């Protein structure tokens, strides 16, 4: 059970988690979402369509933490920021930022 304000905070947390995962997930050629992004979307819809009294805030926050935990050590992928164009296929970063000697 949560209040209306806590519901709003949960929606913010879902958006932040979705962005965190998206910035660390390589895009496929057809721009398909990963299962974790789909899970965030499903969770957002579930929260939006539920009354605040029906929402278990600790359970939702724990779910968000478990989704985000997989991506904590990964750096953001620069292609989402729109300033680099030459991807390094081997290390999933861009050659301009790659520290590998053979890309210099």
Judge if 69 and 81 occupy the same domain: no
Asked whether residue 40 falls in the same domain as residue 85, the answer is no
Q: Do 81 and 58 share a structural domain?
A: no
pLDDT tens figures, 29-45: 666 678 899 999 999 99
- Same domain, yes or no, for 48 and 64? yes
Range of the domain at 26: 4-73
Nearest to 24 by CA among 34, 32, 15, 14: 34
Predicted confidence (pLDDT) at residue 1 exceeds the cutoff of 70: yes
pLDDT tens string 52-93: 999 999 999 999 999 999 888 888 776 555 544 455 555 555
């Amino acid at each position: 059970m949560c209040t209306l304000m806590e519901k709003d905070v949960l929606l913010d947390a879902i958006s932040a988690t979705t962005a965190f995962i998206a910035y660390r997930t390589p895009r496929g050629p057809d721009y398909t979402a990963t299962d974790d992004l789909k899970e965030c979307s499903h969770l957002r819809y579930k929260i939006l369509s539920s009354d605040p009294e029906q929402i278990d805030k600790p359970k939702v926050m724990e779910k968000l933490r478990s989704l985000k935990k997989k991506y904590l050590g990964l750096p953001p992928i620069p292609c989402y920021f729109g300033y680099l164009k030459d991807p390094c296929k081997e290390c999933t970063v861009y050659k301009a930022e790659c520290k590998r000697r053979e890309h210099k």
